[in-house]
Amino acid sequence: MPMVNDKLTFFLASGSPRRKEMIDWLGIPYSIRTTAIDESSSIGDPALKSEDIAKQKGFGLCELLIKESKKDFLVLAADTIVSREGLCFGKPSDEDEARKTLSALSAKTHQVFTGVYLGLYDQGRLKEETFHCETEVEFHHITSDLMDLYIKCGEYKDKAGSYGIQGQALTFIKSIQGSYSNVVGLPLSEVILKINGLLSGNFKDRF
């Protein structure tokens, strides 16, 4: 469990209900606070892209909190990218895009990358940690009937890769290698380890 004390305000820089649920499991007080970014990156590598976007979210909030004269806070931000053979699949804009994405992933193996940013502001210093976690997911062939049912339920909306592993998309999954929670949207055990390391003094100073 992270060593977050009463003097430290913990901010989750994400509106994702799935990430909120996982942070709830930690049983520590926190607030949700987000900043408006376009969630884009010029970086091609999907792992580094996920880190870059997470950093944009997290550092943007840190800057805002510092301007508001907030003291002693911890910011957690994350971004999840689904990728196959270097091609990134983001959140679908409509049903057609969701079908195209799921068809591209059907009967194939893809990677899920979640980039994580941690920013600890303490005694006028911003201490940072950025990392990513990778999970390999293999899909069964998605039949047209199963595809229709999934699209109809609307679960594809606001999901990287047009699916959420914790819901009906479990029917697509043949195998997973790596962190399950990473596919949901946050590699929780790795996050706990990194927070503890950050609070213990293992960090990079920005200023």
> Where in the chain are the domains?
9-205
One-letter amino acid at 127 equals K
**Enclosing H/E stretch for 162:** none
Distance CA 57, CA 136 (A): 25
Its CATH class, for the domain covering 9-205, is: alpha beta
Judged against a pLDDT cut of 80, whether residue 205 lies above it is answered with no
Q: Is 52 among the residues known to form the active site?
A: no
Active-site hit among 6, 72, 79, 94: 79
**The predicted structure's pLDDT at residue 143:** 95
CA angle 194, 198, 200 (to 5 degrees): 115
Query: Residue 68, Cα to own-chain centre: how many angstroms?
Result: 26
Q: Regarding predicted confidence, which is higher, 23 or 123?
A: 23
Per the CB < 8 A criterion, the answer to whether 50 and 114 are in contact is yes
At 191 the three-state DSSP class reads: helix
Distance CA 172, CA 143 (A): 10
One-letter amino acid at 39 equals E
Summarize pLDDT for 99-119 with one digit per residue, the tens.
999 999 999 999 999 999 999
- Model confidence, pTM: 0.90
Summarize pLDDT for 17-45 with one digit per residue, the tens.
999 999 999 888 999 999 888 778 999 99
